[in-house]
Structure 1
Amino acid sequence: MAIKAVLFDIDGTLVDSNDYHVEAWQAVFNRTGATFDDRAVHDQIGKGTDMLVPTLLPDTDEAEQERMGEEHGRIFKSKYLERVTPFADARDLLVKVKDSGRQVVLASSASSEELEHYVALLDAGEIVSVSTTSDDVERTKPAPDIFATALKKLSSLDASEVIVVGDTPYDIEAAARCGIAAVGVRSGKFNDQALRDAGAVALYDDVAALLADFDASPLNG
């Protein structure tokens, strides 16, 4: 079937924020006395608190996980959010998708407040048809909930009629659990092997490269 909607991750895909999330999480972990190198934390970025914290601190109970997530959110929003910039051609790719007759969907593990900020940053209010955030689901990526919720909002479409664009293995795994194909971008600084092992159907350096190859890309299927 032809692709009728494109589901975009945001952090690391449309905006350059992954390193800032690492710094914010490191501040949280430092306050609890936990020590991780930056790569270990980076390799969990793309997950929400419910998945990230138990991976790094498996003995942390749910109340402490929630507290740490709230602290991360406060630090990120107060110190880093205003420093986040869109990747080159991010908005242009969204416009290209819409102009091609397809729906533009934002499907992120970010909070709804962060989503609103990024929509404004990308000047995408009139481009985006549907959005989902961590506030809409019980479990974040790599659980399928965020993409499954987006698919429900696209009630007339089948999984074969949509495609995901994301920068982490967790985007690609979550999409696969919904029966959705996914394109990986390297802008989030995950290695090719991790993205391919997760099931990416194609890899691009960033959204600018994907835009340049749009006509031949899986988005134009």
Structure 2
Amino acid sequence: MRTLALTAVLFDVDGTLVDSVDLHAQAWRETLAGFGIERDLAEIRARIGMGGDHLLPALVDQATLAAIGEATISAARGELFRADYLAQVRGFPGARELIMRLREDGYAVALATSAQSEELAALKQAAAIDDLIDDEITADDVTSSKPDPDIFTAAIDRLGLDDPHRAIVVGDSPWDALAAARARLACIGVRCGGFADADLRRVGVTQIYDDPTDLLAHYDELFG
């Protein structure tokens, strides 16, 4: 049993509730190539979960970013993703059932994602959870995205929690875990986004499950 009762669960979306990490990586690679910037897909994929404000400086040198404009590249990526990739996103099995169970048990549920707000409605529909969410924070709502803590601290504030230990994060990437730790939140990891257990454990994740269905199978030990 936990010494401080959980009252809220903060979910990452991409790679956690919906199968979209590879699609995001492909969209970023195609966008960068359109500006003459060639990057390996695996190098890009390893950074999915960051917002563009962190991903681009990690992949593109400062001089090139200054010449093209970070906002220009990010806008092009967003347009491409929405036009060519967003319709391919599918929800992971068990996502709706897990969140329904949490809601039935009285938990507040918020989405805390580095996705753009223009994409989130479609992502919620893909996971069939659009009618189950108490609040949502996107990269557009904060000045700095994951792995900075802003998205999670904003979610805590929106939910009116008096202590961050009353919430827990569920995420698939090291960037979720780092952001959670910086917001003084524990993070449950899931493998369905494709990140290695070792990468999650390296940033402090101790509980790792396969996907939303696996979380449901262990519901009582995690949330009971």
> Is this a same-fold pair by TM over 0.5?
yes
Cross-structure match for 1:109? 114
Matched, 1:3 2:6: yes
Matches within 5 A, 1:147-166: 147-166=152-171
On the 8 A contact 1:181/1:201 being kept in 2, the answer is no
Q: Give the one of 19, 23, 45 matched to 1:20.
A: 23
Hey, what's the Cα distance between the residues in 2 that align with 1:62 and 1:84?
33
Alpha carbons of structure 1 residues 211 and 78: separation in structure 2 relative to 1, 3 Å: same
Cross-structure match for 2:196? 191
Matched, 1:80 2:85: yes
Matches within 5 A, 1:42-191: 42-59=45-62, 60-61=65-66, 64-191=69-196
User: 1:138 offset after TM fit, Å?
Assistant: 0.6
Letter in 1 for 2:74: G
On the 8 A contact 1:142/1:174 being kept in 2, the answer is yes
Partner SS, residue 6 of structure 1: strand
User: Once superposed, which parts of structure 1, at least 4 consecutive aligned residues long, lie more than 3 Å away?
Assistant: none
Letter in 1 for 2:35: T
Hey, what's the Cα distance between the residues in 2 that align with 1:178 and 1:199?
13
User: 1:34 offset after TM fit, Å?
Assistant: 1.8
Aligned length, in residue pairs: 219
Greater shift after overlay, 24-33 or 13-22? 24-33
CA shift digits 1:79-137 (9 cap, x unpaired): 01011000011111111111111111111011112111222333323311111001100
Partner SS, residue 200 of structure 1: coil
Alpha carbons of structure 1 residues 212 and 38: separation in structure 2 relative to 1, 3 Å: same
User: 1:61 offset after TM fit, Å?
Assistant: 2.6
Normalized against structure 1, the TM-score is what? Answer: 0.95
User: 1:16 offset after TM fit, Å?
Assistant: 0.2
Q: Give the one of 29, 33, 56 matched to 1:30.
A: 33
CA RMSD, 1 decimal: 1.3
Partner SS, residue 187 of structure 2: strand
Hey, what's the Cα distance between the residues in 2 that align with 1:151 and 1:183?
17
Partner SS, residue 165 of structure 1: strand
Identity %: 39
Hey, what's the Cα distance between the residues in 1 that align with 2:153 and 2:42?
29
On the 8 A contact 2:91/2:128 being kept in 1, the answer is no
